[in-house]
Structure 1
Amino acid sequence: MNIKKASLLIIVILLIDQISKIYVKTHFVLGEDVALFSWFKIYFIENSGMAWGTKLSDIIPAISDRTAKVCLTVFRIFAIIGIGYWLINTIKKQQSKTLILALVFIFAGALGNILDSVFYGVLFDDSVSQVASFLPQQGYDSVLHGKVVDMLYLPLWKGYLPEWIPGIGGGYFTFFEPVFNVADVAISIGFCILIFFNGKAFPKNEEN
């Protein structure tokens, strides 16, 4: 895969991700959901932290939520620069197509979520009890303080767990509980490619 094809795939993933987020942000109130199937819903939530809603301030209590948010966003920016450099270098060296494809998905997904974190605070107003407007006079927050828009919810199974399961037996359980977005799917696809096709991504005859 050359740089042109890789760039085109990144743009396609970004467009699908951002169009879906902008549509949900400008058509749904925060917490609103629409059931497409019994096992698949569009459920609008916003994530200001890391995976599963975890915040950096939860891990390091000494820093405030806003400082933690800026640190996390800046870290993500440096991380995406590193992934981008790795991707370009891999393409130039004509290394494994499997590795290139995985990095394309990871880069596109990471960039999609970074756009939310960096710009959505100024591009939209609040979604609490109202449908947000695009490019308002006053956004809901400043640059670097945007929240990531999540909307894909797959409650494939809900019910009470058997009593014999240690610790959680008898409790009500939903699979799959997390709400995610297209960017998250892209990142997951990229990591799955690296895990399940590791031999093709990193052939033994290639230099490290």
Structure 2
Amino acid sequence: MIQKNPFKFFLLTLLLIALDQGVKLAVHFYMAPGFAGQVKLVGDWFKLHYVLNPGMAFGMQLGHEYGKLLLSIFRLFAMVGIGYYLVHLAHRGAPDGLLWAMSMILAGAVGNVIDSTFYGVFLNNAPYGSPTPWFHGQVIDMIFVDVWEGFIPEWVPVWGGQYYSTPIFNIADSCIFIGVCLILFFQRRFFGEQHAEDSLLPISGPDATEASVLPTPEFIDETQENEPRTDESDDNSSDDSQPVTPESVLPDEPKRTE
């Protein structure tokens, strides 16, 4: 496992956040909202269309009095969690593709958090009746892929009988969508490589070291077990040796002659 520096992945995140915020501010100051300021980019199906989104990605909303506040708080926690997970993956040596995808998701989360937190104060676009402009800012959407619009049939649950068109989104939404799709499409490759790298890690701990030095039964010489043991004490017991005394150790003194 080779640890990776997450700096370059956070650098991509910062670049995408700057791009997202730059486009949103340009749309806010230089385009008129709605169809009056719509700009066609490619034919009649790809357009710039300035709308304010009080809810989640692609215009979805939480139908509650404090739904917007809860959504903003959730985005803050999600932003911190994604950033921590990106650092964790980098330190574990995750594949670059997975880290690039996570950096895109993080950029999208941060981009929409900035809108929800500050736009109600600095751009004064909080919905009418909001208890506070903080955390109630509306997200600026502008990318309109106009491939379908009309009434949904009555038999469709929840949305039946209502008029809808393809959603209008922004660069932050696109980053989240592309990042999630990359992880889904290449999950076998991303997490398969991570699992393979983890399986190559050296085993650590007292069990591994003890297993490397302890003998195993198959290496014991069976012939040594069958050989009779001889006890040196038995051999010594058969000797007719006298007890050792100082006289027996000292050499004999020469005899004096007168």
TM-score, normalised to structure 1's length?
0.77
For 1:194, the equivalent position in structure 2 comes to 183
**Among 130, 136, 141, the residue aligned to 1:150:** 141
- Confirm or deny: 8 A CA contact 1:150 1:179 kept in the other structure: yes
The answer to whether the aligner puts 1:71 opposite 2:70 as a matched pair is: yes
For 2:30, the equivalent position in structure 1 comes to 27
- Confirm or deny: 8 A CA contact 1:99 1:200 kept in the other structure: no
For 1:137, the equivalent position in structure 2 comes to none
For 1:138, the equivalent position in structure 2 comes to none
Q: Distance in 2 between matches of 1:22 and 1:119?
A: 12
The answer to whether the aligner puts 1:51 opposite 2:51 as a matched pair is: no
Q: SS state of the match for residue 133, structure 2?
A: coil
* Residues 158 and 126 of structure 1: CA distance in aligned 2, closer, same or farther (over 3 Å): closer
For 2:83, the equivalent position in structure 1 comes to 84
For 1:133, the equivalent position in structure 2 comes to none
For 1:178, the equivalent position in structure 2 comes to 167
For 1:39, the equivalent position in structure 2 comes to 45
For 2:213, the equivalent position in structure 1 comes to none
Q: Distance in 2 between matches of 1:156 and 1:190?
A: 23
For 2:7, the equivalent position in structure 1 comes to 4
The AA in structure 2 aligned to 1:23 is A
- Confirm or deny: 8 A CA contact 1:25 1:127 kept in the other structure: no
- Confirm or deny: 8 A CA contact 2:86 2:102 kept in the other structure: yes
Q: Distance in 2 between matches of 1:146 and 1:159?
A: 29
Q: Distance in 1 between matches of 2:126 and 2:27?
A: 10
Q: SS state of the match for residue 124, structure 2?
A: coil
Cα displacement (A) at 1:92 = 1.4
The count of aligned residue pairs is 183
Cα displacement (A) at 1:8 = 1.5
- Confirm or deny: 8 A CA contact 1:30 1:127 kept in the other structure: no
Q: What's the RMSD between the two structures over aligned residues?
A: 2.9
The structure number with the bigger radius of gyration is 2
Q: Distance in 1 between matches of 2:83 and 2:54?
A: 24
Cα displacement (A) at 1:205 = 2.3
Superposition pairs of residues 157-168 of structure 1, within 5 angstroms: 167=155
For 2:234, the equivalent position in structure 1 comes to none
Superposition pairs of residues 118-157 of structure 1, within 5 angstroms: 118-126=117-125, 142-156=133-147
* Residues 19 and 34 of structure 1: CA distance in aligned 2, closer, same or farther (over 3 Å): same
- Confirm or deny: 8 A CA contact 1:29 1:127 kept in the other structure: no
Q: Distance in 2 between matches of 1:27 and 1:33?
A: 11
Cα displacement (A) at 1:101 = 1.2
Gaps of 5+ in 2: 200-258
Cα displacement (A) at 1:190 = 0.5
* Residues 40 and 79 of structure 1: CA distance in aligned 2, closer, same or farther (over 3 Å): same
Q: CA deviation digits over 1:143-190, x for unaligned, max 9? A: 1111111000011356899xxx9957xx9x98x710000011110110
Cα displacement (A) at 1:2 = 3.0
Residue identity over aligned pairs, in percent, reads 36
For 1:107, the equivalent position in structure 2 comes to 106
**Among 15, 18, 29, the residue aligned to 1:15:** 18
* Residues 82 and 199 of structure 1: CA distance in aligned 2, closer, same or farther (over 3 Å): same
- Confirm or deny: 8 A CA contact 1:36 1:42 kept in the other structure: yes
Q: Distance in 1 between matches of 2:69 and 2:20?
A: 22
